Structure formats: C-alpha cells, structure tokens
Chains A and B, each alone.
Chain A
Amino acid sequence: MNDTPILITQPNFDKTTQYVSTWSEEVEEFSLKRGNKTITLKGKRSNRDEFESVMRKTVLQLVMLNGHGNDNEVAGQDNEVILDLESAEEIIKGKIIYALSCSATKVLGHSCIKKGAVAFIGYSEEYIFLHSHIKVSRPREDKRAALFFKPSNQIPISLIKGNTAQESYQDSKGILKRVISDLFNSETSNAERVCLPYLIWNYRHLTLLGYEKGTLTPRP
C-alpha cells in the first residue's frame, strides 16, 4: 500500500459535470489499484461542508477537483462553491491540487499557493471539450471526449506514480501533443479532427503554479 491519500470531487448535475466526473473514475480506479486511500465526493456529497471536512480530517496529498469554476472559485454539486479565496489555509496547506475547471489558475491557484499548497495545476482560461450526444449515457465510450480527458487524467495519474508536479504537467502536455499530432494525420476522421482548435486551446492554457519538484510522498 502506497498510502498517498487522494480526494476526487465528482459533482454530477449537468452534461459537463457528468462527463468530467465519469472520466475522473479512471483516476479513481488507477489510484485504488495502486493501493491508495481514495476518497470520492460523488454527486450531492460534493458540497462545501463535506469537502472541507475531508480536507481537514484526512492527511491528503492530492486533490482533484472536477466542476465548474472561474478565476476565483471552484464549485461542486449544483454549482455550490467548495473552494474559493476565503478557503482556510489549514485545508489547503501541503496539498497538490489539480482543478479540471475553468480559469482557476488565474487568481484562485495563486491564492492556494500563498496559503501553502505545494502545487496547483489547472487552466488559465475556459476548459473546453467536445463530445458526442450519442454517447452521453456512456461518457467513457465517447472517443471524441477521450481525446480531451485521457491527457487531463494523466496529471493525477502521473503524480500517483510518484512523478513531480512538473513531470506530471509535462506528461499531460506530452500526451496532448501526441493526440494533436495524430489528428493532423490524413487518415483521421473529420469527427475527430474538428477537436483540434479546442485541444490546442486547452494545451496552451494548462498551467502549473507552485513548487515544480513537489511529489506525493508515500508514508511509512
């Protein structure tokens, strides 16, 4: 058992949160396979009280936030804000946070670093993804969405493997680069190639703040 406890928020109340949360189950499964204590706040449990309680009571090292957000905050279920500029230092300190959320590195990420987060990885603009309406009930079978979420999931997966924040960030960008490069291939279908502007947009706005050499440290 590695004992590098992680927390994943999984709100689920619209198509966007349905997709991001369902795809984050890939990270959850990977973490569990590695023997990590893996806490998920699914649906209604993704609220501020539960989030702060887990952040306070558990010695977490990695927090993956899935949900809507803006420069100053990240939300959980039904857009209830769970992390913002008012969040207490004690719940943020010592953690590596990955926010799959819009614009969180603009202001919120810097605030978290000032409050002692080891690193904060997220996006400096809107996170945009494409999917297929036909696959809405089975997001993980949606090949178009996979082009977006596989590279995104690589950040927490790489951290769980023991890589530094910088290496995990680069791993994700490397996979995105490969996906983008493959889409330029002439054999790629139009249904996939239309994703290019949005993949490149996310690539350009993926941002790492804080201590680049920060890692999850297995405890004895």
Chain B
Amino acid sequence: MNEEIKQLVIARLEVLPEDTGISIGSEGEFTRDELIKRVKRGDAIGQKIMEVELDYLKSLKNITSEFLNE
C-alpha cells in the first residue's frame, strides 16, 4: 500500500513543469527531480511531500463544498 502511494505521489510530481522550484521552509529549496528522489528515498522531505499530496487527494471529495460553492 505504502509503495502504491509513493508511486502515485511520484506520478503527480512528474507532471510539475520542469522550471518548478519548491520551497519547504527551513528545509530548503528543491527542484522537481530532487523531490522525486526524496520521495523515492522516503526521507523526511519525501515524507512531507507525501503528506501534502495525500492530504490534497483525500480532501478532493470535500473540496467542492469547501472551495467551489461560493
């Protein structure tokens, strides 16, 4: 299951435009490819990105009512 989630997050990161930089507070600044490596490695940054992406995916069913119904 964890491996499936990891692959899903990697697939999502792969669609980031090549020029994308991601700043994660004091953890630093990452390119798309660096983030993919971190997720594959499963280190703290990789885990954080998985958390953010999963939080988003899990909330998709509620997003319509939370953000789009105004």
Q: Which residues on A are within 8 Å of B, measured CB to CB?
A: 14-16, 19, 68-70, 75, 79, 101-103, 126-134, 136, 144, 177, 180-181, 184, 190-191, 194, 196-198, 200-201, 204
Contact = CB atoms under 8 A, between A and B. Distances in A.
B41 interface: no
19 contacts: A14-B28, A14-B29, A15-B21, A102-B25, A103-B25, A128-B24, A130-B21, A130-B23, A131-B23, A132-B17, A132-B21, A133-B20, A133-B31, A177-B67, A181-B70, A197-B53, A198-B52, A200-B55, A200-B63
B22 interface: yes
Contacts of B25: 16, 68-69, 101-103, 126-128
Nearest to A135: B19
B37 interface: no
A144 B56 contact: no
Interface of B: 15-17, 19-29, 31, 48, 52-53, 55-56, 59, 63, 67-68, 70
B23 A129 contact: yes
A134 B19 contact: yes
Contact of A196 (B29, B48, B56): B56
Contact of B56 (A15, A127, A177, A201): A201
Nearest to B57: A197
A132 B16 contact: no
B68 A181 contact: yes
